[in-house]
């Protein structure tokens, strides 16, 4: 069975250890500046080979954080116009709401896919 492009098997049971670690990867995305992708990258790299769930969620976090970083850079460039002054708070709100939502869903052991995200890092 596929869920938003991710292979999920009904036999896949997420252990508490996987769930907590994946939650930490999502939550690590709140570390800014630039920590929003460095800390999740380190955490994901350490455990991605041990768990399919951690690997999936780590990829998702990395894609989202890289996308947010791109949006933030773009918004800062646009700050020479009034559009940029509107776009910056929107990006910050998207980052905050997205990361908290991902953290909460993962805490419950669910597979979470961030919206409006460029899928740069794909499954092998």
* Burial of 100 per CB tally in 10 Å (0-12, 13-18, 19+): middle
Q: Tell me the per-residue pLDDT of 66-103, one tens digit each, with 9 for 90 and over.
A: 999 999 999 999 999 998 899 999 999 999 999 999 99
CA angle 121, 26, 91 (to 5 degrees): 80
Distant-in-sequence, close-in-space partners of 112: CB < 8 Å, separation ≥ 6: 26, 57, 60, 101, 102, 105, 106
| 18-26-101-117 Cα dihedral, nearest 10 degrees | -120
In a 3-state reduction of DSSP, which class is residue 31? Answer: coil
Task: Give pTM, 2 decimals.
Answer: 0.86
Q: Tell me the per-residue pLDDT of 38-67, one tens digit each, with 9 for 90 and over.
A: 999 999 999 999 999 999 999 999 999 999
């Amino acid at each position: 069975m596929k869920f938003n492009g991710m292979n999920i098997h009904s036999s896949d049971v997420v252990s508490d250890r996987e769930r907590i670690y994946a939650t930490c990867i999502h939550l690590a995305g709140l570390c800014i500046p630039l920590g929003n992708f460095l800390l999740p990258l380190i955490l994901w790299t350490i455990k991605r080979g041990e768990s399919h769930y951690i690997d999936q969620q780590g990829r998702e976090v990395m894609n989202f954080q890289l996308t947010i970083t791109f949006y933030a850079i773009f918004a800062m460039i646009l700050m020479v116009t009034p559009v940029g002054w509107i776009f910056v708070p929107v990006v910050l709100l998207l980052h905050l709401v997205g990361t908290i939502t991902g953290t909460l869903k993962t805490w419950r052991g669910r597979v979470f896919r961030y919206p409006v995200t460029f899928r740069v890092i794909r499954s092998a």
